[in-house]
Structure 1
Amino acid sequence: MTQVGEGQEAEESAPPVMTFGAPTAGEILAERYELVEHINNDSAGRLVWRGVDVVLRRPVAVVLRYPGGDSATEMLQAAVAASRVIHPNLVGVYDAIDEADRAYVVREWVDGQSLREMVTVDGPLDPARATAIGNAVASALAAVHATGMVHGNVHPGTVMISDEGRVVLADARTDGADSQENDIRAVGGVLYFALTGHWPHGEAPLHGATAGHGRAAIPDAVRDAGGTIAAPRQVRAGVPAYLDDLTMDLLDPEIAPPSSDVLAAELGRLDIPADEHFLDQAGPLRFTADPEEEPSPLAAAGGRKVALGIAGLLAVALVGLLIGISALGDDKDQKTEPVARPTSGAPADQPTQPATTRKLAVEDIRIIDPDSHTRDELDDAEKVIDGSEDEGWATDTYTAPKFGNFKRGMGVWIDLGSEHTVKSVKAVLSANGATAQLYTGTTDPGSSSSGDKKLYTDYVTTKNRIGEGFAQAEGSTLIFSNGFDPDKKYRYLLFWLTELPSNDRGYKIGVQEITVQGS
């Protein structure tokens, strides 16, 4: 039976907190809250008791501090602020009383254990369980942050799991020393701890206690010679890549974290019962798939690149053969013009015929998803250029037209292999109503979560946009023909989706075929 204290838990060797007039079992505070059992003391001088609300006949936790007054201001302010936010993943605060010689906070009693205890006793959690706990914590933070407040005390000791499986976040602080961004990064720490049993922030917090039990310190994360922490996948087997990326991105100070509501939405999209089929079209989630069936995104992209490169070479050879045949035919029949006439040696009064517009071969193609750590919507990109409109790549089904309101968009990135004059790009979609734009760029940052983020930053700018959007729409067909500079060569293109059409289940679109015309 565990409860989390309001501050840092005392070390095992710390002497008990001695206070004048300490409470005793059976005492009734404020003529309402009967003290039943002393659970633990914390190093901030607070005592945690299990009690009973004798009016409502419900169990409560009572956190006391001696004396009250100025020394209890932060504790009471935090309790008052927390009482204003009602959420199933937050511990409920019922009362906060200052009696000068003592102050106490009355809050919900949770039968269960902290995440710290659960992992210390039973070992690291499976990825599905870790995702569910991360979702609950992020959802609680989203509710707190929506009021403009900061929790400031997120760690394995303040994450409680009840005996019924409910996950709640307890013991907010309001000392002004923290920020919403630090709250969000702390979710990365909670995920890292849940997956590895190690704490990634140096000295581990000693919050949370079990009455009558010793408490070993949380081990620090494994680090290299430079002090860089090892990724969860390097610590234990079986951690899926998307969860590894998400955790490390949240811990990386060089990567701006998402807002708490965006993080909660992303984790919530993954935290679904096994019998739900909301993401059927995207394939199995990484942590539920058979490891032997999980393709390597990098290997898959590399394999496609080789195949597409060979196809590109064959296409070039075929064009060369047709030109040669046409040129031979020119000797036999002077009425037939060649496909293209070389400029070298041409008479000054004879204009050179412009190069013929044709379908350009694509060397590489992949799906760009900068705002998702799951990377579970990347498959089937090669079907977008297979010459058939019957099959293609499709997004997941979302709850709102702008990708559930937590993504800036998704795109199809195309590498033509070398620079070409581009005349038009045609995209055939599975339905009407999608909003898309076309961009160009000059770099290939690689197929990874960080690569997609960089590609979005480099490409999706006003100066790189082709035209003002799609120039022509014929039902579900988008044609970009205005905006290409005839004096400029293009190699990389990004077809960028920003809004999805609705169907009977939500919002979704398929890109059936993309064709690039040029010379």
Structure 2
Amino acid sequence: MTQVGEGHETAADADGPVMTFGAPTAGEVLAERYQLEEHVNDDSAGRQVWRGIDVILRRPVAVVLRYPGGEDAVEMLQAAVDASRVIHPNLVGVYDAIDEGTRSYVVREWVDGESMRELVTAEGPLDPARATAIAHSIADALAAVHATGMVHGNVHPGTTLIADDGRVVLADARADSSDSAEKDIRAVGGLLYYALTAHWPHDEVSPSALPDATRDASGNPAAPRQIRAGVPAYLDDLTMDLLDRRVATPEADALAAELGRLDAAADDDYDDVGPLRFTQGNATSEPPRNNSKIVIGVAALVVIAIIGLVFGIRAITSGGKPDPGSTTQANANGNPADGDTQAPAPTPQKIKLTPDMVRIVDPPPGDRTDSDEAKNVVDGNPDTAWETHRFNTAKFGNLKPGMGVLINLGKPRNLADVRVETSSTGVGMEIRTGNTDPGDNGAGDQKIVETYKKLGEPDADAKGDGTNRIFSVFDANTKYQYVLVWVTELPRADDGDRYQVSVNEVSVYGY
């Protein structure tokens, strides 16, 4: 397995050290104590990593050798000495650091298992619960390191080791003058992102061997929920907040506590975990990306307080009589008069959808055998879904124009957007609306196809191009009761056999 050293390259290590004479060999005993058994690999800085045996204590060790030693190895040795002072179950133990001049080496705990990098490369993205548990362990380790005033400087999928017994440990501290506690914390966001997407969102000194994140035109990584289905919203928010430099990072112990809370909630699919607690009071001067509701709410309270103060002062100065010339009166058109302070726009709220409010629309010649799966798109569980049948072509085998989910909100409402989570990318979708449900049968479904009107242009009005789409296509001055999420084109099935998609969740936001 990859034991240590597979993290990012520091500026000093970018070209790797120069390998010279005196190369170690299997069976050689270093410092009269550490016998080299097997050359495991060379790390990202060109150092050799060996499995060895401490012949005195008779325990396996990992030996990391650098050529040459001396001044070139000062940072490596100092980082090892610093790391040896912190004892924590989620940190690899450091036993020795020796400089022989022509070479130097660090002796560390040997961990039977594999690195997170190897795990994700072999298995693909991890499930959210496992990703959370790994990040929780690393945050705990960093809290112990930061408590001593030190930083780690090399939090990376290659230095995050998962032992065969399930223990998660962080290896190979490599801090230099450019590293900081903030970088350590943002790297935990990188670990979460890598675990959830199998891509690495951070820049490296030299090109990273890890697959780069999917990025927008500005170079920002796409959110995990835009890349794959089943990522809980709170975990997605936490990951992106840690990567967003506009959002201040929490202290390591606060992050560990938050991840611990999410870790404990993972068994219940993260139900009712509440807002991210450490973001409150930790934000920078620029509003955090995910705290817009908090900001709007505070602004509304401030505006209400100011208006109340104005009315109170006027009531006192006018003896309680209304001022006919007051600028708080509406003008003849019903709009606020000049000089008024207008209340902020209302914040969209998620409308609770129940199984009796949704049904599958499957026009003839559809067999309607999947009607009972409609409830799965509003149950709050991204692991359940409405799954279409398989078709020979993306256009439903040219048998019908599409299929969809009809939502009856019970009464006309002003709407903000519809959000749809699917199992795959490349799904053709649009939002349609009508005035009634003509019937849960083949004839009724055909009537819907003929009478419901498309809202907006999907390519222009839908945000997100992954498995999560947001359709902001509603007129602010119109109320809607019947909304149809209409699938017009299918992606290939996961196994490549014909065309199919699963709709995992549908959410409607309104006022």
Q: TM-score, normalised by structure 2?
A: 0.54
Contact map agreement 1:139 1:264 (CA 8 A) in 2? yes
Q: Distance in 2 between matches of 1:120 and 1:196?
A: 11
Contact map agreement 1:124 1:193 (CA 8 A) in 2? yes
Q: How does 1:172-183 map to 2 (within 5 A)?
A: 172-183=173-184
The structural deviation recorded for 1:67 is: 2.1
Q: How does 1:72-471 map to 2 (within 5 A)?
A: 72-202=73-203, 217-272=209-264, 284-286=268-270, 369=275, 371=277, 449-454=290-295
Q: Distance in 1 between matches of 2:203 and 2:61?
A: 34
- Code of the residue aligned with 2:210 in structure 1: it is I
The structural deviation recorded for 1:45 is: 3.7
Name the CA shift for 1:131/1:116 in 2 (closer, same or farther; >3 Å).
same
Contact map agreement 1:150 1:180 (CA 8 A) in 2? yes
- Code of the residue aligned with 2:120 in structure 1: it is V
Q: For each residue in 1:163-220, what CA deviation from the matched residue of structure 2 results, as whole angstroms up to 9, or x when unmatched? A: 111111111113111111111111111100000011112459889xxxxxxxxx3221
Unaligned runs of 5+ in 1: 208-216, 276-283, 298-366, 374-406, 410-444, 466-482, 493-519
Contact map agreement 2:242 2:249 (CA 8 A) in 1? yes
What does residue 388 of structure 1 align with?
none
The structural deviation recorded for 1:269 is: 1.3
Name the CA shift for 1:460/1:268 in 2 (closer, same or farther; >3 Å).
farther
Q: Distance in 2 between matches of 1:47 and 1:456?
A: 56
The structural deviation recorded for 1:19 is: 2.5
Name the CA shift for 1:87/1:189 in 2 (closer, same or farther; >3 Å).
same
Q: For each residue in 1:445-493, what CA deviation from the matched residue of structure 2 results, as whole angstroms up to 9, or x when unmatched? A: 99x94124525875899x979xxxxxxxxxxxxxxxxx9984489989x
Contact map agreement 2:6 2:44 (CA 8 A) in 1? no
Q: Distance in 1 between matches of 2:127 and 2:49?
A: 31
Contact map agreement 2:88 2:144 (CA 8 A) in 1? yes
Q: For each residue in 1:324-356, what CA deviation from the matched residue of structure 2 results, as whole angstroms up to 9, or x when unmatched? A: xxxxxxxxxxxxxxxxxxxxxxxxxxxxxxxxx
Name the CA shift for 1:457/1:37 in 2 (closer, same or farther; >3 Å).
farther
Q: Distance in 1 between matches of 2:41 and 2:127?
A: 30
Name the CA shift for 1:92/1:451 in 2 (closer, same or farther; >3 Å).
same
What does residue 3 of structure 1 align with?
3
Contact map agreement 2:3 2:115 (CA 8 A) in 1? yes
**Secondary structure of the equivalent of 2:264?**
coil
- Code of the residue aligned with 2:158 in structure 1: it is G
Name the CA shift for 1:154/1:21 in 2 (closer, same or farther; >3 Å).
same
What does residue 440 of structure 1 align with?
none
Contact map agreement 2:16 2:46 (CA 8 A) in 1? no
Contact map agreement 1:135 1:271 (CA 8 A) in 2? yes
- Code of the residue aligned with 2:4 in structure 1: it is V
Contact map agreement 1:9 1:42 (CA 8 A) in 2? no
**Secondary structure of the equivalent of 1:255?**
coil
- Code of the residue aligned with 1:371 in structure 2: it is R
**Secondary structure of the equivalent of 2:277?**
coil
The structural deviation recorded for 1:224 is: 2.2
- Code of the residue aligned with 1:69 in structure 2: it is G
Number of aligned pairs?
309
Q: Which has the larger radius of gyration?
A: 1
Q: Distance in 2 between matches of 1:140 and 1:29?
A: 30
Name the CA shift for 1:459/1:123 in 2 (closer, same or farther; >3 Å).
same
Contact map agreement 1:46 1:64 (CA 8 A) in 2? yes
The structural deviation recorded for 1:227 is: 2.4
Q: Distance in 1 between matches of 2:300 and 2:62?
A: 54
Contact map agreement 2:16 2:45 (CA 8 A) in 1? no
Contact map agreement 2:241 2:290 (CA 8 A) in 1? no
- Code of the residue aligned with 1:224 in structure 2: it is D
Name the CA shift for 1:179/1:450 in 2 (closer, same or farther; >3 Å).
same
Q: For each residue in 1:20-40, what CA deviation from the matched residue of structure 2 results, as whole angstroms up to 9, or x when unmatched? A: 011111111111111111111
Q: TM-score, normalised by structure 1?
A: 0.53
Q: For each residue in 1:373-429, what CA deviation from the matched residue of structure 2 results, as whole angstroms up to 9, or x when unmatched? A: 8xxxxxxxxxxxxxxxxxxxxxxxxxxxxxxxxx669xxxxxxxxxxxxxxxxxxxx
Q: Distance in 1 between matches of 2:314 and 2:277?
A: 31
**Secondary structure of the equivalent of 1:271?**
helix
Q: Distance in 2 between matches of 1:15 and 1:73?
A: 15
What does residue 327 of structure 1 align with?
none
Contact map agreement 1:48 1:62 (CA 8 A) in 2? yes
Q: Distance in 1 between matches of 2:214 and 2:35?
A: 46
- Code of the residue aligned with 2:174 in structure 1: it is R
Does 2:25 match 1:33? no
Contact map agreement 2:97 2:106 (CA 8 A) in 1? yes
**Secondary structure of the equivalent of 1:25?**
coil
- Code of the residue aligned with 1:98 in structure 2: it is D
Q: Distance in 1 between matches of 2:19 and 2:67?
A: 9
Contact map agreement 1:8 1:206 (CA 8 A) in 2? no
Q: Distance in 2 between matches of 1:15 and 1:454?
A: 48
Q: Percent identity?
A: 66
Contact map agreement 1:130 1:194 (CA 8 A) in 2? yes
Contact map agreement 1:125 1:194 (CA 8 A) in 2? yes
**Secondary structure of the equivalent of 1:56?**
coil
Contact map agreement 2:8 2:156 (CA 8 A) in 1? no
Q: Distance in 2 between matches of 1:40 and 1:19?
A: 17
- Code of the residue aligned with 1:450 in structure 2: it is N
Contact map agreement 1:370 1:452 (CA 8 A) in 2? no
What does residue 319 of structure 1 align with?
none
The structural deviation recorded for 1:18 is: 4.0
Does 2:50 match 1:49? yes
**Secondary structure of the equivalent of 1:104?**
strand
Name the CA shift for 1:174/1:227 in 2 (closer, same or farther; >3 Å).
closer
Q: Distance in 2 between matches of 1:457 and 1:38?
A: 60
**Secondary structure of the equivalent of 1:94?**
strand
